[in-house]
């Protein structure tokens, strides 16, 4: 023990007592403490990157006793003696995987998924159903019957092909142009139209604008309007799945190449890569982010080209080829579950329709360009050619199918328009398990307001 009594009483009484205390304390400590150094050979270090790296990861060469260090931030990198720029032009672009060409011919027989006629027919009809419904609901908006709509023209194969390769138990985080995934999983025509009309039968209780679908039963998380928010959410859900014993579920999140410019996408990629999350990042690169073409959206090799920088696997494929999409998604699902790691899939396609009913794409792209993608390169046309070659396609039967879908959609629109809107009090519900006091007070205040000004509100259109 060090005794303070050994300090100079005079020093404590003067203005310099602090310095006297420190000097005295230091002298006493040095006298009472002995330092023992272990004997160790002195090693001649010829090449050091950092002292810390040397202590933690340095390895002694058997031949000359030299320690070689590895930077913690680049463990696989080697040293060179002259500077060399890594230029994007020197990196080979990721190729586009394709199974079926525009004539419906299989390029490599080993890549044919060998799906049975029933499955292929469902793929075709689900794409036709989506295409037919899109045309009618788009016109419905133009007639002022709904406020907004977004079509899926040209991207039907990326929806149906990917959905077919997933398990129904896998979670889906969509953006706003993946309605085909819901079609495949069993979302009905009435489910779609009731949501667009925001009536009391809408699963979302009329709280969202049109095309913002969701289904707890089908493991499809409700779509959010802000761009890119679903991507980090998907990474988090996948991480939660990984922590569960004997997990057999993965997560897939869809987004466009425009959304890939959002900061949320970077955060999601980095979290998923560093936390080893079983998530499929499915980018629909359709060439346009509203009116911004992909050539102005990024300078690198698309979205799949970013994967290596995050330490992720990647695969680019023809998104107008339903079989390439199916094979790619099936391979990706097997990979993320086996390795507990994420992957980026990039479906190359072309957005044939306008971005939404708020957009006029004729202002920024030529009609001649659209014609190619809307005919010979259309995903439905390709699959039709494939089915014709196998004797699986009957023109009259499919024409009747289109007529029946049109009839169902028009009939449902007529019904959905007549269904009352949800009780406006729903606005205050479903956020908390039990409504807190401040929300109860707000609802009571709103009820009083509505009661006093009933003539200003279309209450007859709402459930009471």
Which residue, among 30, 10, 29, has the nearest Cα to 20 in the 3D structure? 10
Task: Give me the pLDDT at residue 334, please.
Answer: 98
Q: 300-337: per-residue pLDDT in tens?
A: 999 999 999 999 999 999 999 999 999 999 999 999 99
Task: Give me the pLDDT at residue 19, please.
Answer: 45
Q: 435-453: per-residue pLDDT in tens?
A: 999 999 999 999 999 999 9
Residues in CB range of 400: below 8 A, 6 or more apart: none
CA distance 357 to 278: 35
Task: Give me the pLDDT at residue 382, please.
Answer: 98
Q: Which of 8, 61, 139, 339 is catalytic?
A: 139
Both tokens of 21, joined, read: 């205390």
CA distance 328 to 319: 10
Look up 449 and say whether it is catalytic: no
Residues forming a β-bridge with 437: none
Q: Which of 356, 361, 398, 426 is catalytic?
A: 356
Instruction: Report residues of the chain scoring pLDDT below 50.
Output: 1-22, 24-26, 28-62
Which residue, among 392, 386, 345, 331, has the nearest Cα to 100 in the 3D structure? 386
CA distance 408 to 133: 9
Look up 356 and say whether it is catalytic: yes
Task: Give me the pLDDT at residue 464, please.
Answer: 87
Task: Give me the pLDDT at residue 70, please.
Answer: 85
Q: Out of 3.30.70.360, 3.40.50.970, 3.40.605.10, 3.30.465.10, select the CATH number for domain 109-417.
A: 3.40.50.970
Residues in CB range of 405: below 8 A, 6 or more apart: 128, 129, 132, 133, 189
Look up 139 and say whether it is catalytic: yes
Q: Which of 61, 225, 358, 445 is catalytic?
A: 225
Query: Is the distance from CB of 54 to CB of 48 less than 8 angstroms?
Result: yes
Q: Which of 159, 212, 355, 378 is catalytic?
A: 355
Q: 211-249: per-residue pLDDT in tens?
A: 999 999 999 999 999 999 999 999 999 999 999 999 999
Task: Show me where the domains of the chain are located.
Answer: 109-417, 424-461
Neighbours of 30 (CB within 10 A): 10
Look up 61 and say whether it is catalytic: no
Task: Give me the pLDDT at residue 65, please.
Answer: 55
């Amino acid at each position: 023990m060090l005794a303070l009594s050994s300090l100079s009483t005079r020093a404590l009484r003067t203005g310099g007592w602090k310095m006297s205390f420190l000097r005295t304390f230091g002298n006493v400590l040095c006298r009472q403490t002995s330092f023992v150094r272990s004997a160790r050979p002195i090693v001649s270090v010829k090449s050091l990157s950092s002292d810390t790296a040397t202590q933690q990861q340095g390895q002694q060469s058997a031949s000359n006793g030299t320690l070689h260090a590895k930077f913690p931030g680049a463990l696989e990198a080697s040293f060179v003696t002259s500077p060399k720029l890594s230029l994007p032009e020197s990196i080979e672009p990721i190729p586009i995987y394709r199974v079926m060409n525009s004539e419906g011919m299989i390029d490599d027989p080993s890549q044919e998924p060998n799906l049975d006629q029933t499955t292929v027919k469902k793929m075709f009809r689900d794409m036709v159903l989506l295409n037919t419904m899109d045309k009618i609901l788009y016109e419905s908006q133009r007639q002022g019957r709904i406020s907004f709509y977004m079509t899926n023209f040209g991207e039907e194969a990326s929806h149906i092909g990917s959905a077919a390769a997933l398990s129904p138990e896998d979670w889906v985080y969509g953006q706003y142009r993946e309605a085909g995934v819901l079609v495949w999983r069993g979302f009905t025509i009435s489910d779609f139209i009731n949501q667009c009309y925001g009536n009391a039968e809408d699963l979302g209780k009329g709280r969202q604008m049109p095309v913002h679908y969701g289904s707890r039963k089908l493991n499809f998380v409700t779509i959010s309007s802000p761009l890119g928010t679903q991507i980090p959410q998907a990474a988090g859900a996948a991480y939660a799945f990984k922590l569960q014993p004997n997990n057999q579920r993965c997560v897939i999140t869809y987004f466009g190449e425009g959304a890939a410019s959002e900061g949320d996408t970077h955060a999601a990629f980095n979290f998923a890569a560093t936390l080893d999350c079983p998530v499929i990042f499915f980018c629909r690169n359709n060439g346009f982010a509203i009116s911004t073409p992909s050539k102005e959206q990024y300078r690198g090799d698309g979205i799949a080209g970013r994967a290596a920088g995050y330490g992720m696997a990647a695969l680019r494929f023809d998104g107008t080829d339903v079989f390439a999409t199916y094979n790619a998604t099936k391979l990706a699902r097997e990979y993320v579950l086996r390795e507990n790691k994420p992957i980026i899939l990039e479906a190359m396609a072309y957005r044939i329709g306008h971005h939404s009913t708020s957009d006029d794409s004729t202002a920024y792209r030529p009609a001649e360009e659209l014609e190619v993608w809307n005919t010979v390169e259309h995903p439905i046309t390709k699959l039709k050619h494939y089915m014709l070659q196998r004797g699986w396609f009957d023109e009259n039967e499919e024409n009747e199918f289109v007529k029946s879908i049109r009839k169902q959609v028009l009939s449902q629109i007529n019904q959905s328009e007549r269904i009352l809107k949800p009780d406006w009090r729903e606005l205050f519900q479903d956020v908390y398990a039990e409504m807190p006091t401040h929300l109860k007070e707000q609802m009571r205040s709103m009820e009083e307001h509505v009661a006093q000004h009933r003539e200003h509100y279309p209450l007859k259109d709402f459930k009471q």
